[in-house]
Amino acid sequence: MRSVVVGLVCAMFAALTVSTVAHAAGAPPLDAGQRAKGMKAAPALITAASLDCQVADAYYIGDQDDPKTHKKNGLYEIACSNGPGVLIIAHPDNTSQTVSCLELEGGPAGNFRCMLPGNANAAAGFTPIVSKVDPKCQVAKARALGQTADGHLVLEIACDQICGNGHYSMKGVVKVVSQEEFILWKAKQKAAYYTAFPDKDPTAPKAVASTQY
């Protein structure tokens, strides 16, 4: 299997502690009313958080007392059909924080864990993102390693594919950017094959034969 390190630009920087919200094993079934409330609020939450998420499912978990502001924060879990599931902490001032379900899985025992069926495999949620760089990668395992100095989440991801002896140790860097930035970046790239065999590159300047008399 190959490993890929992914740096996400979307705002996955919050970390929930045991004192913030706890989700014990054997939690009761999801409440239909809270699910409906989550689905209703999800589009506005996604827009406010600037997330690229096509909402597949959502759930209103409840309110949380903010020890700093002494106000109530709303907690929502969202499953995205085109990316990883997230938990959103919605503040009364219309700001929010988000944390991926994968980060929650890696937290201390007793922390909240995502509950929606669509978020059951938190690692697989990153396949749509990784596939933009490596279409053959089906994410089998993943873990959050931490954050970069500028606040980007760093993940280690293993693809469920065999591609040769020793390839399990290969790593790359993937950043999630806007469609416009991706198009500009891609236009500047050159296939590794043409770097190794520049004479095969159809865009390379052709040598002009000259005759000397």
pLDDT per residue as tens, the chain (213 positions) = 333 343 333 323 333 443 334 443 455 588 999 999 999 999 999 998 888 899 999 999 999 888 887 889 999 999 999 888 899 999 988 888 888 888 887 666 556 788 999 998 888 888 777 777 777 777 777 777 777 776 667 777 777 765 555 655 655 555 666 778 778 877 887 776 677 778 877 777 766 655 555
202 in a structural domain = no
Given a contact cutoff of 8 angstroms between Cβ atoms, the answer to whether 77 and 114 are in contact is yes
204 in a structural domain = no
Given a contact cutoff of 8 angstroms between Cβ atoms, the answer to whether 38 and 76 are in contact is yes
The two structure tokens encoding residue 172: 């790359």
212 in a structural domain = no
- Position 60 scores a pLDDT of 95
- Position 13 scores a pLDDT of 31
- Position 14 scores a pLDDT of 34
158 in a structural domain = yes
59 in a structural domain = yes
The two structure tokens encoding residue 176: 């999630």
- Alpha-carbon dihedral angle through residues 158, 161, 165, 169, given to the nearest 10 degrees: -10
- Position 7 scores a pLDDT of 37
- Position 120 scores a pLDDT of 87
Look up the domain containing 126 and give its range.
2-175
- Position 10 scores a pLDDT of 31
38 in a structural domain = yes
Number of domains the chain is built from:
1
Counting every residue written for the chain, the total comes to: 213
Given a contact cutoff of 8 angstroms between Cβ atoms, the answer to whether 35 and 58 are in contact is yes
Cβ neighbours of 154 (radius 10 Å) = 14
Cβ neighbours of 153 (radius 10 Å) = 23
d(CA 54, CA 43) in angstroms, rounded, equals 9
184 in a structural domain = no
pTM of the model: 0.62
181 in a structural domain = no
